Chains A and B, each alone.
Chain A
Amino acid sequence: MTALLAVHELRLTYEARDVLRALTVEVKRGEVVALMGLSGAGKTSALRAAAALQRFHAGRIVVDGFALEPGPVPPESRLRPLRRRVGLVFQGHALFEHLTALENVTLALTHVLRRRHEEADEAALQLLGSLGVGGRAGALPRQLSGGEAQRVAIARALAPDPALLLMDEPTAALDPARRGSLGRTLRRLAAGDGGREGRGLLIATHDTEFARAHADRVAVLADGVVVETGSAADVLDRPSHPATRALLADGDGPTAAQNSSS
């Protein structure tokens, strides 16, 4: 089975510093992959490059058959096929502040996919409902809690039905109970349900507990390369690389991270 996302030898330089030197990672359909690393390891840059928001300097990114080459980000008109295939959930959700939760989800449906308004509303409400925020459809982003806003952001990214979903630090704003619930949701999205095909999920996180509980595979990023990869249990329970051990020591679960930072 070919990968939904294939990142090969990605080099990405930012302000004369190699953020990524030779990142190689794959995500298959139905798979949840955790891209792990300490802050500043380049996790976000990798997601942004895969979502064609950021130029890269060498290597290759293929998303469901659509190839991105090194160099400046192509104009939006050439990225249409990619945009249909990839959804990105930003850290801090980045919901459109002037629109309600429902409008955030329907906007791409009506203006990019040209669905009729009633049809878009119905699809969006169903999506919000399946994520547990159907009751907040009329709220503005600033009226939502962190967890609600994130679920709306996931619904927005899922609305065009992308095969690949990229998520940047999805647990950052969540309490432990909500993390578990989010993890189960992500598993469901990856597996596919109700006759829907499964998706691939690439999740940038430094939350080892979340990765251990919900990811199929883990790739640990350090010094711009993946230093260790394998099943979540293999990598996180028997770390072989110092960077993985540092990651586990730094934040073995959210509670420890909170305690150490306070």
Chain B
Amino acid sequence: MIHSFGFATPGLLLAAWLGAQGGRGVTLLWGGDAEGGAPFVEADPADASQVRGFDVEVAETIARGLGRHARFVQVQWSSIDQSVERGDFAIGLSGVEDTPARRAHHAVTVPYFSFREVLAVRSEDRGRFSGLATLRGRRVATLGGTMAYDLLLAARDSLDLIPVSYDDDVHPYADLVAGRVDAVLLDHIIAERALRRRAGTGFVIQPQAVAVGRYVGVLANPDSALRDSVDVVLRAAMRDGTLERIFRLWNVWDPSQGDLFRRVAGTALPEPTEAIARSASSVWAYLPSLGRAAAITALLSALSMAVAVVVGLVVASGRVYGPAPVRAVMTVYVEVVRGTPLLLQLFVLYYGLSGLVRLPAFLAAVLGLGLNYAAYEAEIYRAALEAVSRTQLEAARTLGFSEAQILRLVRGPQALRYALAPMTNDFVALLKDSSLVSVLTVVELTKQTAIYATNIGSWIVPGMLCAVVYLAMSLPLARLARGLERRWSAA
């Protein structure tokens, strides 16, 4: 299977390249995220190489109207804007929201679907949490980089609620039912889908919408001519009932779509969604949140390293001094942890074990990173302990020290010199790996940068700022490691 995948990838790339090259006239490359699932875009259960969903059919309608053939390009939802500007595809369609920032930085089509931002709360909280104002001091989940997240950020300042950002739209509802958050704010299509998946139990959707938004297609900024053609096709599809047929087929039609169509097809562009218009272009506005995120990264890394050092010492001692069964257990720990992806471990720890123990996100992040790095630390310590020459240990034995004293007074201090430089290198690596914990809803430096980049529609300034902060933390550590190495190898 791995073999066939490895073989297939170049073929796919070639096909995509050919499509992109020869396709201007015949093919319309469109980008979407099949991870977003039905009813937007999902892998076809009958043929996993194909996608289906209402956004798929909208894309096909647009392609047909342009006299082209639609071809799907998979892209991570949060990267659609960047990807379309890079030219990976001509148009992004996947529940893409109509926001001022998007309009400012990209060519955006007329809206083709109207959605409501709705609150989902646990059934027993139905009466308590009816709107954002009732959620003061509470944790409210959503998908990062969305209009809903912007709404929650605004509410953090005005209402003092706690926004919790996820990388996907499934786990917010799982965590709502599990009690980790008190509400979820997301598009009504997503909320209803989540409720169907749970067979209508566990939570309810509040009928009163928090806000209203619209889905649009997004094109690269210089592609406004193509955008205008797409708008013509979309307006025609609204008038001749094509879009209504698609939405009814996918069970997402409601009267508000008719209202939207009448306005769009009849008049010029409606005003973009009144999402909270943050002063998106100002770097200064983001510095406080980047600073906070950097502090979280630093704290998270320091605590995780502390866990890694303590657990690593225990594991290494077990491997060097323990009886055979202990050595076997420690070896299995080291090999399993080193042999599986950190991301998988984080998922298992946070989501997989949530039935047994419901760890807060930050604690899960510290434990996940710490226990993972403990395996690497253990190997460093084991190697360092074994690097202390036998004669040193024998000399200590002839003087009458106990084994524990030998470890504490002779072997440990000497091993520390061998271990310090590689430990420091590991700490630098951990600092950067800490960005992975954003999958557990911890907003650290990289995640905050991604949110910032999505907001302003560019990675250049946020990326550089983020890099500078990481370097400011890691370069002194790297210098320290080199210095220690020099000092102790000069013997």
Contact = CB atoms under 8 A, between A and B. Distances in A.
Given A98-B413, A111-B409, A83 B395 contact: no
B268 interface: no
B391 A90 contact: yes
User: Is chain B's binding surface mostly helix, strand, loop or mixed?
Assistant: helix
B324 interface: no
A227 B395 CA distance: 30
A53 B399 contact: no
A83 B397 CA distance: 8
Given A92-B391, A107-B409, A98 B417 contact: yes
A92 B399 CA distance: 17
B402 A77 contact: yes
B392 A80 contact: no
A83 B491 contact: no
A157 interface: yes
Nearest to B394: A53
Nearest to B391: A94
B372 to A, nearest CB: 31
Interface in B357-416: 389, 391-392, 394-403, 405, 409-410, 413-414
A157 B398 CA distance: 8
Contacts of A90: 391, 394-395
Given A98-B413, A98-B414, A112 B399 contact: yes
A118 interface: no
A86 interface: yes
> Max chain B CB contacts within 10 Å: which of A108, A156, A157?
A108
B403 A76 contact: yes
Contact of B400 (A53, A97, A160): A160
A83 B400 contact: yes
A204 to B, nearest CB: 15
A83 B401 CA distance: 9
A142 interface: yes
Given A76-B403, A111-B405, A142-B491, A94 B397 contact: no
A76 B402 contact: yes
B404 to A, nearest CB: 10
Contacts of A203: none
Interface string B177-220: 00000000000000000000000000000000000000000000
Contacts of B392: 94, 96-97
A88 interface: yes
Bin the interface of chain A by size: 20 to 34
User: Is chain A's binding surface mostly helix, strand, loop or mixed?
Assistant: mixed
Nearest to B396: A96
Contacts of A77: 402
A57 B463 CA distance: 70
Contacts of B414: 96-98
A87 interface: yes
Contact of B397 (A76, A87, A157, A159): A76
B430 to A, nearest CB: 27
Contacts of B400: 76, 79-80, 83-84, 108, 112, 160
Interface in B401-446: 401-403, 405, 409-410, 413-414, 417
B399 A156 contact: yes
A157 B396 CA distance: 10
A168 to B, nearest CB: 11
A83 B403 contact: no
Contacts of A142: 491
B406 to A, nearest CB: 8
Interface in A70-100: 76-77, 79-80, 83-84, 86-88, 90, 92, 94-98
A51 interface: yes
Contacts of A159: 399
Contacts of A80: 400
A149 to B, nearest CB: 12
A26 B397 CA distance: 24
A87 B394 CA distance: 12
A83 B402 contact: no
B319 to A, nearest CB: 20
A169 B389 CA distance: 19
A93 to B, nearest CB: 9
Given A96-B392, A97-B491, A112 B398 contact: no
A87 B396 CA distance: 11
A142 B398 CA distance: 22
A83 B243 CA distance: 92
> Max chain A CB contacts within 10 Å: which of B409, B413, B414, B417?
B409
Contacts of B391: 90, 92, 94
A88 B405 contact: no
A94 B413 contact: no
A98 to B, nearest CB: 5
Contacts of B389: 94
A174 B331 CA distance: 46
Nearest to A156: B399
Interface in A9-59: 51, 53
Given A98-B413, A111-B409, A142-B491, A83 B394 contact: no
Interface of B: 389, 391-392, 394-403, 405, 409-410, 413-414, 417, 491
Given A92-B391, A111-B401, 5 more contacts: A83-B398, A88-B398, A90-B394, A107-B409, A156-B399
Interface of A: 51, 53, 76-77, 79-80, 83-84, 86-88, 90, 92, 94-98, 107-108, 111-112, 142, 156-157, 159-160
9 contacts: A76-B400, A77-B402, A90-B394, A90-B395, A95-B395, A98-B417, A107-B399, A111-B405, A159-B399
The 8 closest A-B pairs by CB, nearest first: A83-B400, A108-B399, A94-B395, A112-B400, A94-B391, A88-B398, A142-B491, A98-B413
